Amino acid sequence: FALAKQHPEPAMFRHRDRLKPNYDAVIIGAGGHGLAAAYYLARDYGMTDIAVLEKGYLGGGNTGRNTTIIRSNYLTPEGVKFYDESLRLWQDLAQDFDLNLFYSTRGHFTLAHTDSAVRTMRWRAEVNKHFGIESELVEPDEIKKACPHMDLTCGGKAPVMGALYHAPGSIARHDAVAWGYGRGADRRGVEIHQQTEVLGIQVESGKVTGVQTTRGNISTPRVLCAVAGFTPRLLQMVGLRSPIYVHPLQAMVSEPMKPWLDPIVVSGSLHVYVSQTARGELVMGASLDPYELHSTRSTLDFVEGLAAHMLELFPFLSHVKVVRQWAGMADMTPDFAPIMGKTAIAGFYLDAGWGTWGFKATPVCGKTMAYTVASDRTHELMTKFSLERFKNYALVGEKGAASVGH
Protein backbone atom coordinates (compact mmCIF):
# COMPACT_ATOMS: atom_id res chain seq x y z
CA PHE A 1 0.00 0.00 0.00
CA ALA A 2 2.89 2.36 0.89
CA LEU A 3 4.48 1.60 -2.48
CA ALA A 4 1.21 2.22 -4.29
CA LYS A 5 0.97 5.60 -2.56
CA GLN A 6 4.48 6.54 -3.64
CA HIS A 7 3.78 5.47 -7.24
CA PRO A 8 0.13 6.24 -7.96
CA GLU A 9 0.62 5.94 -11.75
CA PRO A 10 1.46 2.47 -13.05
CA ALA A 11 4.62 2.09 -15.14
CA MET A 12 2.69 1.10 -18.26
CA PHE A 13 -1.07 1.71 -18.27
CA ARG A 14 -4.02 1.99 -15.94
CA HIS A 15 -6.41 -0.76 -15.02
CA ARG A 16 -9.98 0.44 -15.66
CA ASP A 17 -12.62 -0.99 -13.36
CA ARG A 18 -15.64 -0.39 -15.53
CA LEU A 19 -16.58 0.14 -19.14
CA LYS A 20 -18.49 3.29 -20.02
CA PRO A 21 -21.79 2.81 -21.89
CA ASN A 22 -20.50 4.76 -24.90
CA TYR A 23 -17.28 5.85 -26.61
CA ASP A 24 -16.40 7.85 -29.73
CA ALA A 25 -14.60 4.78 -31.01
CA VAL A 26 -13.97 1.17 -30.02
CA ILE A 27 -10.87 -0.68 -31.12
CA ILE A 28 -11.09 -4.47 -30.97
CA GLY A 29 -7.69 -6.06 -30.27
CA ALA A 30 -4.84 -4.75 -28.09
CA GLY A 31 -2.11 -6.04 -30.37
CA GLY A 32 0.42 -3.67 -31.86
CA HIS A 33 -1.94 -2.61 -34.66
CA GLY A 34 -4.94 -1.75 -32.45
CA LEU A 35 -2.79 0.04 -29.87
CA ALA A 36 -0.86 1.96 -32.53
CA ALA A 37 -4.12 3.17 -34.05
CA ALA A 38 -5.32 4.27 -30.59
CA TYR A 39 -2.02 6.06 -29.98
CA TYR A 40 -2.08 8.04 -33.24
CA LEU A 41 -5.81 8.79 -32.92
CA ALA A 42 -5.08 10.37 -29.54
CA ARG A 43 -1.77 12.00 -30.43
CA ASP A 44 -2.48 13.27 -33.95
CA TYR A 45 -6.26 13.77 -33.97
CA GLY A 46 -7.06 14.53 -30.32
CA MET A 47 -9.51 11.60 -30.20
CA THR A 48 -9.22 10.17 -26.71
CA ASP A 49 -12.71 8.87 -25.92
CA ILE A 50 -11.65 5.45 -27.13
CA ALA A 51 -11.86 1.97 -25.60
CA VAL A 52 -9.38 -0.67 -26.74
CA LEU A 53 -10.95 -4.04 -25.95
CA GLU A 54 -8.75 -7.12 -25.58
CA LYS A 55 -10.05 -10.59 -24.84
CA GLY A 56 -6.71 -11.76 -23.41
CA TYR A 57 -3.78 -9.58 -22.43
CA LEU A 58 -2.08 -6.67 -24.16
CA GLY A 59 0.34 -7.90 -26.83
CA GLY A 60 -0.57 -11.56 -26.19
CA GLY A 61 -1.57 -12.25 -29.82
CA ASN A 62 0.74 -12.33 -32.82
CA THR A 63 2.44 -9.13 -31.66
CA GLY A 64 4.02 -11.00 -28.75
CA ARG A 65 4.62 -14.17 -30.78
CA ASN A 66 6.38 -12.91 -33.86
CA THR A 67 10.04 -13.11 -34.81
CA THR A 68 10.35 -9.31 -35.14
CA ILE A 69 11.86 -9.00 -38.61
CA ILE A 70 11.52 -5.48 -39.98
CA ARG A 71 12.25 -4.75 -43.64
CA SER A 72 10.80 -3.03 -46.68
CA ASN A 73 12.23 -5.14 -49.54
CA TYR A 74 8.85 -6.08 -50.99
CA LEU A 75 7.84 -6.86 -54.54
CA THR A 76 4.97 -4.56 -55.51
CA PRO A 77 5.11 -0.75 -55.65
CA GLU A 78 2.16 -0.54 -53.20
CA GLY A 79 3.91 -2.86 -50.75
CA VAL A 80 7.31 -1.22 -51.02
CA LYS A 81 5.89 2.28 -50.40
CA PHE A 82 3.82 1.12 -47.45
CA TYR A 83 6.60 -0.78 -45.67
CA ASP A 84 9.13 1.94 -46.46
CA GLU A 85 6.97 4.48 -44.64
CA SER A 86 6.82 2.05 -41.72
CA LEU A 87 10.62 1.80 -41.62
CA ARG A 88 10.80 5.59 -41.46
CA LEU A 89 8.38 5.63 -38.52
CA TRP A 90 10.36 2.96 -36.66
CA GLN A 91 13.43 5.25 -36.56
CA ASP A 92 12.20 7.65 -33.85
CA LEU A 93 9.64 5.41 -32.17
CA ALA A 94 11.77 4.66 -29.08
CA GLN A 95 12.32 8.38 -28.55
CA ASP A 96 8.62 9.07 -29.08
CA PHE A 97 7.75 6.47 -26.41
CA ASP A 98 10.75 7.18 -24.15
CA LEU A 99 11.15 3.41 -24.06
CA ASN A 100 13.96 1.18 -25.31
CA LEU A 101 12.58 -0.98 -28.12
CA PHE A 102 15.93 -2.71 -28.74
CA TYR A 103 15.61 -1.69 -32.37
CA SER A 104 18.73 -3.10 -34.00
CA THR A 105 19.67 -2.71 -37.66
CA ARG A 106 21.41 -5.89 -38.82
CA GLY A 107 21.10 -6.22 -42.57
CA HIS A 108 18.87 -8.92 -44.06
CA PHE A 109 19.92 -11.72 -46.42
CA THR A 110 17.33 -13.68 -48.40
CA LEU A 111 19.28 -16.63 -49.75
CA ALA A 112 18.76 -18.02 -53.24
CA HIS A 113 19.53 -21.69 -53.86
CA THR A 114 18.22 -22.01 -57.42
CA ASP A 115 18.38 -20.07 -60.69
CA SER A 116 14.74 -19.09 -60.42
CA ALA A 117 15.26 -17.82 -56.86
CA VAL A 118 18.19 -15.70 -58.09
CA ARG A 119 15.88 -14.27 -60.74
CA THR A 120 13.23 -13.34 -58.13
CA MET A 121 15.90 -11.71 -55.93
CA ARG A 122 17.13 -9.66 -58.89
CA TRP A 123 13.54 -8.63 -59.65
CA ARG A 124 12.97 -7.55 -56.04
CA ALA A 125 16.29 -5.67 -55.95
CA GLU A 126 15.33 -3.72 -59.07
CA VAL A 127 11.82 -2.85 -57.83
CA ASN A 128 13.30 -1.82 -54.49
CA LYS A 129 16.01 0.37 -56.00
CA HIS A 130 13.42 2.05 -58.21
CA PHE A 131 11.69 3.24 -55.03
CA GLY A 132 14.92 4.24 -53.30
CA ILE A 133 15.09 1.16 -51.04
CA GLU A 134 18.57 -0.21 -50.31
CA SER A 135 18.49 -3.72 -51.81
CA GLU A 136 20.94 -5.53 -54.02
CA LEU A 137 21.72 -8.96 -55.36
CA VAL A 138 24.97 -10.20 -53.79
CA GLU A 139 27.37 -13.05 -54.58
CA PRO A 140 28.18 -15.93 -52.21
CA ASP A 141 31.53 -14.39 -51.19
CA GLU A 142 29.75 -11.32 -49.81
CA ILE A 143 27.41 -13.55 -47.80
CA LYS A 144 30.42 -15.43 -46.44
CA LYS A 145 32.06 -12.16 -45.38
CA ALA A 146 28.99 -11.06 -43.43
CA CYS A 147 28.26 -14.52 -42.09
CA PRO A 148 31.48 -16.57 -41.87
CA HIS A 149 29.83 -19.40 -39.94
CA MET A 150 27.44 -20.30 -42.75
CA ASP A 151 28.08 -23.48 -44.77
CA LEU A 152 27.33 -22.10 -48.22
CA THR A 153 27.27 -25.61 -49.68
CA CYS A 154 24.41 -26.52 -47.28
CA GLY A 155 25.92 -29.99 -46.94
CA GLY A 156 26.04 -30.25 -50.75
CA LYS A 157 22.24 -30.39 -51.00
CA ALA A 158 21.23 -26.90 -52.07
CA PRO A 159 24.28 -24.61 -52.34
CA VAL A 160 23.70 -20.90 -51.85
CA MET A 161 23.98 -19.18 -55.24
CA GLY A 162 23.47 -15.59 -54.09
CA ALA A 163 21.16 -13.48 -51.98
CA LEU A 164 19.03 -10.39 -51.86
CA TYR A 165 20.77 -8.10 -49.37
CA HIS A 166 18.71 -5.41 -47.67
CA ALA A 167 20.88 -3.24 -45.41
CA PRO A 168 18.01 -1.64 -43.39
CA GLY A 169 16.71 -5.06 -42.23
CA SER A 170 16.22 -4.88 -38.43
CA ILE A 171 14.83 -6.58 -35.36
CA ALA A 172 13.17 -5.06 -32.27
CA ARG A 173 11.68 -6.17 -28.98
CA HIS A 174 8.11 -7.02 -29.93
CA ASP A 175 6.32 -6.70 -26.61
CA ALA A 176 7.98 -3.35 -25.89
CA VAL A 177 6.31 -2.07 -29.06
CA ALA A 178 2.89 -3.01 -27.67
CA TRP A 179 3.77 -1.53 -24.28
CA GLY A 180 5.05 1.70 -25.84
CA TYR A 181 1.92 2.25 -27.90
CA GLY A 182 -0.30 1.16 -24.98
CA ARG A 183 1.39 3.49 -22.49
CA GLY A 184 1.35 6.40 -24.94
CA ALA A 185 -2.37 5.91 -25.65
CA ASP A 186 -3.22 5.46 -21.95
CA ARG A 187 -1.38 8.64 -20.96
CA ARG A 188 -3.46 10.56 -23.49
CA GLY A 189 -6.72 9.25 -22.01
CA VAL A 190 -7.49 6.14 -24.10
CA GLU A 191 -8.94 3.28 -22.02
CA ILE A 192 -7.38 -0.16 -22.43
CA HIS A 193 -9.60 -3.00 -21.21
CA GLN A 194 -7.98 -6.41 -21.03
CA GLN A 195 -10.00 -9.59 -20.38
CA THR A 196 -12.85 -8.00 -22.34
CA GLU A 197 -14.01 -10.04 -25.30
CA VAL A 198 -16.23 -8.67 -28.04
CA LEU A 199 -19.07 -11.16 -28.55
CA GLY A 200 -21.16 -9.25 -31.06
CA ILE A 201 -21.20 -6.08 -33.16
CA GLN A 202 -24.42 -4.16 -33.66
CA VAL A 203 -25.21 -2.88 -37.14
CA GLU A 204 -28.36 -0.87 -37.87
CA SER A 205 -29.32 0.33 -41.38
CA GLY A 206 -25.82 -0.41 -42.65
CA LYS A 207 -24.08 1.49 -39.83
CA VAL A 208 -22.18 0.33 -36.77
CA THR A 209 -23.94 1.33 -33.56
CA GLY A 210 -22.20 -0.65 -30.83
CA VAL A 211 -20.56 -3.79 -29.51
CA GLN A 212 -21.54 -6.48 -27.02
CA THR A 213 -18.77 -7.61 -24.69
CA THR A 214 -18.28 -10.04 -21.83
CA ARG A 215 -18.51 -6.97 -19.56
CA GLY A 216 -21.60 -5.34 -21.03
CA ASN A 217 -22.75 -3.39 -24.07
CA ILE A 218 -21.19 -0.25 -25.52
CA SER A 219 -22.65 2.14 -28.06
CA THR A 220 -20.26 3.70 -30.53
CA PRO A 221 -20.37 4.98 -34.12
CA ARG A 222 -16.89 3.67 -34.99
CA VAL A 223 -15.34 0.22 -34.61
CA LEU A 224 -11.83 -0.65 -35.75
CA CYS A 225 -11.26 -4.39 -35.98
CA ALA A 226 -7.57 -5.37 -35.57
CA VAL A 227 -7.73 -8.98 -34.41
CA ALA A 228 -5.34 -10.83 -36.79
CA GLY A 229 -6.13 -14.58 -36.65
CA PHE A 230 -9.60 -13.93 -35.22
CA THR A 231 -10.72 -11.78 -38.15
CA PRO A 232 -13.06 -14.37 -39.76
CA ARG A 233 -15.01 -14.68 -36.47
CA LEU A 234 -15.38 -10.90 -36.12
CA LEU A 235 -16.41 -10.48 -39.76
CA GLN A 236 -19.15 -13.04 -39.22
CA MET A 237 -20.58 -10.74 -36.53
CA VAL A 238 -21.19 -8.01 -39.13
CA GLY A 239 -22.11 -10.31 -42.01
CA LEU A 240 -19.01 -9.54 -44.12
CA ARG A 241 -16.98 -12.17 -45.96
CA SER A 242 -13.26 -12.16 -46.71
CA PRO A 243 -10.93 -14.66 -48.36
CA ILE A 244 -8.81 -14.85 -45.17
CA TYR A 245 -7.78 -18.35 -44.09
CA VAL A 246 -5.99 -19.04 -40.81
CA HIS A 247 -2.87 -21.21 -40.48
CA PRO A 248 -0.63 -21.59 -37.44
CA LEU A 249 2.87 -20.15 -37.78
CA GLN A 250 5.34 -21.59 -35.31
CA ALA A 251 8.67 -20.30 -34.02
CA MET A 252 11.34 -21.32 -31.51
CA VAL A 253 14.25 -19.87 -29.59
CA SER A 254 17.61 -21.31 -28.54
CA GLU A 255 19.55 -20.95 -25.34
CA PRO A 256 21.65 -17.74 -25.30
CA MET A 257 25.07 -17.83 -26.96
CA LYS A 258 27.97 -15.44 -27.42
CA PRO A 259 27.08 -13.10 -30.31
CA TRP A 260 28.07 -14.72 -33.62
CA LEU A 261 25.26 -13.89 -36.04
CA ASP A 262 24.98 -10.25 -36.94
CA PRO A 263 22.65 -10.25 -39.97
CA ILE A 264 19.18 -11.71 -40.29
CA VAL A 265 19.27 -14.77 -42.56
CA VAL A 266 16.27 -16.12 -44.46
CA SER A 267 16.10 -19.12 -46.76
CA GLY A 268 12.68 -19.72 -48.28
CA SER A 269 13.92 -22.89 -49.99
CA LEU A 270 15.31 -24.43 -46.80
CA HIS A 271 12.34 -23.16 -44.74
CA VAL A 272 14.57 -21.34 -42.26
CA TYR A 273 14.89 -17.84 -40.94
CA VAL A 274 17.06 -16.79 -38.03
CA SER A 275 18.37 -13.79 -36.13
CA GLN A 276 20.30 -13.44 -32.88
CA THR A 277 18.84 -11.20 -30.17
CA ALA A 278 20.72 -8.79 -27.91
CA ARG A 279 20.42 -11.51 -25.24
CA GLY A 280 22.21 -14.01 -27.48
CA GLU A 281 19.27 -16.29 -28.26
CA LEU A 282 18.65 -17.47 -31.80
CA VAL A 283 15.10 -16.67 -32.85
CA MET A 284 14.08 -19.12 -35.56
CA GLY A 285 11.13 -19.88 -37.76
CA ALA A 286 10.21 -21.92 -40.80
CA SER A 287 6.95 -22.16 -42.75
CA LEU A 288 3.26 -22.02 -42.11
CA ASP A 289 1.77 -25.25 -40.82
CA PRO A 290 0.34 -26.82 -43.96
CA TYR A 291 -3.31 -26.95 -42.84
CA GLU A 292 -5.94 -24.49 -41.70
CA LEU A 293 -6.26 -24.47 -37.93
CA HIS A 294 -7.50 -21.90 -35.41
CA SER A 295 -5.10 -22.84 -32.64
CA THR A 296 -1.79 -21.82 -31.05
CA ARG A 297 -0.61 -25.32 -30.23
CA SER A 298 2.97 -26.15 -31.26
CA THR A 299 4.44 -29.44 -32.49
CA LEU A 300 7.56 -31.64 -32.20
CA ASP A 301 7.47 -32.08 -35.96
CA PHE A 302 8.16 -28.36 -36.37
CA VAL A 303 11.21 -28.39 -34.06
CA GLU A 304 12.67 -31.46 -35.75
CA GLY A 305 12.23 -30.07 -39.27
CA LEU A 306 13.53 -26.61 -38.46
CA ALA A 307 16.51 -27.93 -36.47
CA ALA A 308 17.50 -30.17 -39.40
CA HIS A 309 17.42 -27.24 -41.84
CA MET A 310 19.28 -24.95 -39.42
CA LEU A 311 22.06 -27.56 -39.28
CA GLU A 312 22.32 -27.60 -43.07
CA LEU A 313 23.23 -23.90 -42.93
CA PHE A 314 25.04 -23.87 -39.56
CA PRO A 315 26.33 -27.38 -38.74
CA PHE A 316 28.28 -26.16 -35.68
CA LEU A 317 24.99 -25.61 -33.80
CA SER A 318 24.34 -29.32 -33.30
CA HIS A 319 24.73 -29.14 -29.51
CA VAL A 320 22.72 -25.99 -28.96
CA LYS A 321 19.51 -26.41 -26.98
CA VAL A 322 16.08 -25.21 -28.00
CA VAL A 323 14.46 -23.62 -24.95
CA ARG A 324 11.03 -22.45 -26.09
CA GLN A 325 8.60 -22.88 -28.95
CA TRP A 326 5.21 -21.36 -29.65
CA ALA A 327 2.73 -20.54 -32.40
CA GLY A 328 0.50 -17.73 -33.57
CA MET A 329 -2.56 -17.72 -35.81
CA ALA A 330 -1.69 -16.14 -39.15
CA ASP A 331 -4.57 -14.47 -41.05
CA MET A 332 -3.48 -15.26 -44.60
CA THR A 333 -4.77 -13.64 -47.79
CA PRO A 334 -4.56 -15.17 -51.28
CA ASP A 335 -2.18 -12.45 -52.50
CA PHE A 336 -0.10 -12.13 -49.30
CA ALA A 337 -1.05 -8.47 -48.94
CA PRO A 338 -3.14 -6.97 -46.12
CA ILE A 339 -6.79 -5.89 -46.06
CA MET A 340 -7.18 -2.37 -44.76
CA GLY A 341 -9.58 0.52 -44.67
CA LYS A 342 -13.27 1.28 -44.79
CA THR A 343 -15.82 -1.47 -45.44
CA ALA A 344 -19.33 -1.69 -46.83
CA ILE A 345 -20.60 -1.06 -43.27
CA ALA A 346 -20.39 2.58 -42.28
CA GLY A 347 -18.15 3.06 -39.25
CA PHE A 348 -16.65 -0.43 -39.44
CA TYR A 349 -12.95 -0.28 -40.29
CA LEU A 350 -10.70 -3.25 -40.92
CA ASP A 351 -6.98 -3.82 -40.35
CA ALA A 352 -6.41 -7.50 -41.15
CA GLY A 353 -4.80 -10.04 -43.45
CA TRP A 354 -1.42 -9.41 -41.87
CA GLY A 355 -0.60 -13.10 -41.90
CA THR A 356 3.11 -13.64 -41.36
CA TRP A 357 4.25 -10.12 -42.27
CA GLY A 358 2.50 -7.50 -40.12
CA PHE A 359 4.85 -6.73 -37.22
CA LYS A 360 7.09 -4.49 -39.32
CA ALA A 361 4.00 -2.60 -40.48
CA THR A 362 2.73 -1.81 -36.97
CA PRO A 363 3.68 1.91 -37.02
CA VAL A 364 2.38 2.63 -40.52
CA CYS A 365 -0.82 0.67 -39.89
CA GLY A 366 -1.44 2.66 -36.73
CA LYS A 367 -0.84 5.93 -38.54
CA THR A 368 -2.90 5.20 -41.63
CA MET A 369 -5.77 3.51 -39.77
CA ALA A 370 -5.93 6.46 -37.34
CA TYR A 371 -6.26 8.81 -40.33
CA THR A 372 -8.96 6.59 -41.84
CA VAL A 373 -10.99 6.32 -38.64
CA ALA A 374 -10.66 10.02 -37.75
CA SER A 375 -11.56 11.32 -41.21
CA ASP A 376 -13.69 8.45 -42.53
CA ARG A 377 -11.48 8.57 -45.63
CA THR A 378 -9.20 5.78 -46.79
CA HIS A 379 -5.56 6.82 -46.42
CA GLU A 380 -3.87 7.05 -49.81
CA LEU A 381 -1.15 4.53 -48.84
CA MET A 382 -3.76 1.80 -48.36
CA THR A 383 -6.12 2.32 -51.30
CA LYS A 384 -4.84 -0.84 -53.05
CA PHE A 385 -5.38 -2.96 -49.92
CA SER A 386 -9.19 -2.72 -49.78
CA LEU A 387 -11.40 -5.75 -49.18
CA GLU A 388 -13.08 -4.91 -52.50
CA ARG A 389 -9.96 -5.88 -54.46
CA PHE A 390 -10.88 -9.54 -54.28
CA LYS A 391 -14.22 -8.80 -55.95
CA ASN A 392 -12.52 -6.68 -58.61
CA TYR A 393 -9.63 -9.11 -59.29
CA ALA A 394 -7.18 -6.34 -58.40
CA LEU A 395 -4.81 -8.41 -56.29
CA VAL A 396 -1.45 -7.16 -54.91
CA GLY A 397 0.84 -10.17 -55.39
CA GLU A 398 3.40 -10.21 -52.58
CA LYS A 399 3.96 -13.96 -52.24
CA GLY A 400 7.49 -13.73 -53.67
CA ALA A 401 8.50 -11.33 -50.88
CA ALA A 402 6.85 -13.14 -47.98
CA SER A 403 10.08 -14.57 -46.45
CA VAL A 404 8.28 -17.47 -44.83
CA GLY A 405 7.79 -20.75 -46.70
CA HIS A 406 4.17 -21.48 -47.70
**DSSP states of 283-323 as a string?**
EEEEEE-SS--------HHHHHHHHHHHHHH-GGGTTPPEE
Beta-carbon contacts of 379 under 8 Å, excluding residues fewer than 6 positions away, are 341, 367, 368, 369, 371, 372
Beta-carbon contacts of 43 under 8 Å, excluding residues fewer than 6 positions away, are 184, 188
Selection from ligand FAD, ligand PYC, none that 366 binds (CB < 5 to 8 A by kind) is: none
Q: Report whether 273 contacts 264 (CB < 8 A).
A: yes
Q: Applying CB under 6 A, does 404 fall inside the site for ligand PYC? A: yes
Residue closer to ligand FAD by CB (options 34, 168) is: 34
Q: Applying CB under 6 A, does 227 fall inside the site for ligand FAD? A: yes
Q: What does the alpha-carbon distance between residue 286 and residue 252 come to, in Å, rounded to a whole number?
A: 9
Other CB atoms within 10 A of residue 299 CB:
13
Q: Applying CB under 6 A, does 359 fall inside the site for ligand FAD? A: yes
Q: Applying CB under 6 A, does 267 fall inside the site for ligand FAD? A: no
Q: Applying CB under 6 A, does 33 fall inside the site for ligand FAD? A: yes
Task: Give the 3-state secondary structure percentages of the chain, helix then strand then coil, rounded to 5.
Answer: 35, 25, 40
Of the candidates 123, 199, 121, the one whose C-alpha atom is nearest the C-alpha of residue 162 is 121
Dihedral, 300, 305, 310, 315 alpha carbons, nearest 10 = 90
Q: Which of 40, 53, 63, 67 binds ligand PYC (CB under 6 A)?
A: 67
Q: Report whether 226 contacts 268 (CB < 8 A).
A: no
Residue with CB nearest ligand FAD?
Answer: 31
Selected range binding ligand PYC among 65-73, 135-143, 189-197, 289-297, rule: CB under 6 A? 65-73
Selection from ligand PYC, ligand FAD, none that 183 binds (CB < 5 to 8 A by kind) is: none
Selected range binding ligand PYC among 63-71, 225-233, 295-303, 338-346, rule: CB under 6 A? 63-71
Q: How far is the CB of 137 from ligand PYC (least distance, A)?
A: 18
Which segments within 194-335 are labelled E, that is strand?
A: 198-204, 207-213, 216-219, 223-225, 245-254, 264-267, 272-276, 282-288, 322-332
One symbol per residue from 312 to 341: x for binding ligand FAD (CB under 6 A), - otherwise; what is it? Answer: ----------------x-x-----------
Q: How far is the CB of 158 from ligand FAD (least distance, A)?
A: 23
Helices 174-187 and 32-45: angle between axes, nearest 10 degrees = 30
Q: How far is the CB of 285 from ligand PYC (least distance, A)?
A: 5
Q: Applying CB under 6 A, does 354 fall inside the site for ligand PYC? A: no
One symbol per residue from 245 to 284: x for binding ligand PYC (CB under 6 A), - otherwise; what is it? Answer: ----------------------------x-----------
Residues that bind ligand FAD (CB under 6 A): 28-34, 53-56, 60-63, 65-69, 197-198, 226-228, 230, 249, 251, 285, 328, 330, 354, 356-360
Residues that bind ligand PYC (CB under 6 A): 67, 69, 71, 273, 285, 356-357, 403-404
